[in-house]
Chains A and B, each alone.
Chain A
Amino acid sequence: MKLIFEKSIDSRTGFKLPECDVDIKFNLSEKYLRKSQAELPEVSELDVVRHFSELAKRNFSVDSNFYPLGSCTMKYNPKFTERVANFEGFTDLHGLLPQVLGASMLCQGALQVVYDVQKLLCEITGMKAFTTQPLAGAHGELTGAMLIAAYHKDKKHKRKYVIVPDSSHGTNPASAAIAGYEIITVPTDKTGCMDFEEFKSKLNENVAAVMLTCPNTLGIFNFRIKDICDEAHKVDALVYYDGANLNAILGKARPGDIGFDIVHINLHKTFATPHGGGGPGAGPVGVSEKLVGYLPIPRVVKRSDATYALSYNRSKSLGYMAAFFGNFSVILKTYAYIMMLGKDGLTEVSETAVLNANYLKEKLKKYFQLDYDRICMHEFVISAVSQLKNNIHAIDIAKYLIDKGIHPPTVYFPLIVKEAMMVEPTETESKQTLDEFIDVMVEIAELAEHNPQALKDAPVTTCVGRLDEAKAARDLNLRWQK
């Protein structure tokens, strides 16, 4: 398929602007004006429509296929939330409106949405206050790491290290490192949880925080999680909850009750807003009582007359983490989703997500090695090591799944499981879909024994075959040039 730049024909246009009948003088300095014409694709409207329709047909999304990508919670995004996000009362608002004198009365609804979502997220996680500003999960983590730094700076602590388990999401140590911390990694014990004694031996008054996912990336809930929080608090280290796996515990356990100090939530995972290339994400951050003062400004507050306004008066605040209130339409969809499901609905989300994962795990463990064989939460990790003897790797299984119309699970993560395949079915899939997936996985196990070449040849139904991933990583070519 050609790039849209390659479809460009000199002087072809898709839109004609009317003559400008207003006398406008631009006073831009010469140095800001470009010297040559921008080389934009010159295409007609129909060229553009066909180009993007063709791209859309090639897209692989949860709207078209099963998508059990572990730790990503690729659940179905219900369409009513799109309708809510398209209400004109919201789409026609300008983000500066609440800052204009008197104009905050023109956007009370939007301010209330931000206020209420923060309150709802507090209720769901047991935290004291939330900010909706962070624009993605990793941005939420950075906000969290900066809150950790702000807390210790304020208390005049000199803290150098952040502890993570070796099963952690790579973004945890990365976010802490970006905030200036050095990383201490604690190994996983044979139950699949962070080794508690090792953790204790590495914890001291140089440690700023512990960053954890619970359930972790093996899909296992750490039953010593409260002990971990208590130990950390003994040396005044903070405990950070990576909310990527929150879909497992809605209505069942609250990080705030367990003792976590900071939580980030991926709205595009747990709260069913579009994910990945499907739209901007959002990574709201919640904190315990002792960190409320450091949250980014502005805060949306409710005044005594029940109207909403912005508050900037916070001397210890981190300042802005993003423009305005974050990705507002994502927050709006989350509001709609939470209100539609309610407390019982959200609890059922987690119950069904966990049931679906355990069903798949029990059916698949006869065919693929399961290193940590215990009840899992919303996801589990199987391994292709039994298939290695016929030179079949996790990547071959992933490619064959694509041919069968199934998005591959996360492969080669977490790093502590060899030939890992991390499966997260989510609650939105039916038993029929799960059974179809099981059938394909059983077929793969048989092919690995009797016809491994069929797996090596995959994918054969896609517009391109097996890509040279090493070349793609070694010789990056990201820019089109004539």
Chain B
Amino acid sequence: MIPAFTGSDMKTILYIVQKEFKQIFRNKGMLPIIFVMPILQLVILSNAATFEVKNIKFGYIDNDHTSTSRALVERFDASTYFNVLTDFPSEALASAAMLNGEVDVLLHIPPYFERDLQKEKYNNLGVTINAIDGAAAGVENVYVTQIVQRFNQNLKIDLFQVSDQEIQPINIETIPLFWYNETLNYKTFMVPGILVLLVTMITLFLSGMNIVREKEIGTLEQINVTPIKKREFIIGKLFPFWILGVGLLTVGLVLAKVIFHIPMVGSLPLMYLYTSIYILVVLGIGLFISNFTETQQQAMFISWFFIVIFILMSGLFTPIESMPNWAQIITQFNPIRYFVEVMRMVMLKGSEFMDILPQLFKTLLYAIIMNGLAIWSYKKTT
């Protein structure tokens, strides 16, 4: 049952909102955090948080020393992903270099590489990859394979041209076509996600700490002795942070467009509609946390706990599809997951209202539940 709002409710809420804004803009420590942190986050994280592996330290042991083996090495040299080419005279030296971290990838070219290729149309190459960082090693493996394959194809053509052999079997090749992010630009993928992070973190921390702060300084008790209604107080408290959250989204979108030239395929009003509901979820969580904590420190720790889980399980950095089943179920309860999905869908794919309806609906439900819990758990009388 939600009682109807009266004019006096609105008046009281206005007084609180007015007071909150004054306090926010008067807080010399807080203002830079609110406005500088998002910009730094977006600029630094979007450039740094990339899964592309570049500047791979590459070394090789050429036991063949023929034109073919040199041609193969040149392929790596030409690639923009591999730099620093080191020619190791022996396996022992190469292993030592890998142990010292001087090379990431080692290519072993066997003796009689060229001769065997021409005679048997087949040969083995050895590749050693430093796999301490498993994800990077996987990517490096793909790069190496691609280069060797391409080398192979050219070689076949060359061989075909020089020899008058029978018809060779046709190679079926897959040509990947990437939709929505044709250039596979990681920034295009990451910026919408990082935008989600900054909106979430700032609104959660600010709202979570705000009410606990009043508990700490004793003003909450003074408020509780007034006839103020719970809903007036909570709406008055949360509204300023809701405005801040929407403001942050705007700052983020402008930066994304101006600095990163992220394509904005979808509708802006739709992004704002979703975000305004999403922020309600975050504010509800923040308020809920503040009702169960006595100090800002406690509230901060609990907020961090949830933020870390929410971020790591949001699909922002690691795809949800590759998580174990139980973890995928948990992500259903992760608001950040839906926000990341919606931002990527709308910004990059141009999804429309009907496409994001499931996310929108779940987020709305989440907002109602969290704010219901928050209002319920806020007690004027203990």
| A in complex with B | no
Q: Which residues of A contact B (CB under 8 A)?
A: none
